[in-house]
Amino acid sequence: MAEKSPWELGALLKGYIKASGKTQRQIADEAGMPMPTYLSQMANGKVNWVRSDYFPALVRVLGLKEEDVRFLRPEAVIEIPKSIASPEQARPLTLQEMINNFSTQALIDVPLPEGLVKAIEEYGSNPKYAGLNRENVQRQLSLARFYDGRGPQTAVEWLTYYLSVKDWIEE
């Protein structure tokens, strides 16, 4: 079977989003995406969402079934964190059980960059920058280091970045 184009996959994603009854912002937030615009790029075929790091989270958030996953990405393997897998389990989990049990805990447990921690310490007490103290904002900000391989380094760079994206990541 030939691989589907990002445009075809985007059209499918739009259908899944509509069927979920959720907004793109809700889905992006639940999937741990730093900005809802990334989900929009996926839905418009600019990014291959099936090959993205967010695929397992999107499968979970959209409530996709095993047959959907097999259709979209036949070779997909979803790992279950050890905290979910039970040693007493008598049988292997089905793909659908894995999808239902998938957790983004691994993303949440990544330590915050040192410069971001300093920015929170230095500026978080200022009511103007109170969002820096919210865990979901910190998690989304910390993903900035993956965009260009460097990301913000100093407390001032993190504050500047926060101010440039705060309207997108705070509600």
In a domain, 31, yes or no: yes
99 and 73 in a common domain? yes
| Per-residue model confidence (pLDDT) at position 85 | 45
What CATH number does residue 45 fall under?
1.10.260.40
Residue at 154: amino acid letter: T
In a domain, 19, yes or no: yes
59 and 132 in a common domain? no
Q: What mean pLDDT, rounded, does the chain reach?
A: 77
Q: Which domain holds residue 22?
A: 6-105
160 and 140 in a common domain? yes
Those residues with Cβ within 8 angstroms of residue 87's Cβ, 6 or more apart along the chain or in another chain: none
> Is pTM, for the whole model, over 0.75?
no
In a domain, 44, yes or no: yes
146 and 96 in a common domain? no
* Residue bearing tokens 């200022």: 126
In a domain, 137, yes or no: yes
pLDDT in tens, 75-104: 765 554 444 444 454 455 565 555 555 544
Give how many domains the chain has, as a whole number. 2
Q: Where are the alpha helices (DSSP H) in 44-153?
A: 55-62, 66-72, 95-101, 105-108, 114-123, 135-142
Those residues with Cβ within 8 angstroms of residue 64's Cβ, 6 or more apart along the chain or in another chain: 16, 58, 72, 99
Residue at 43: amino acid letter: A
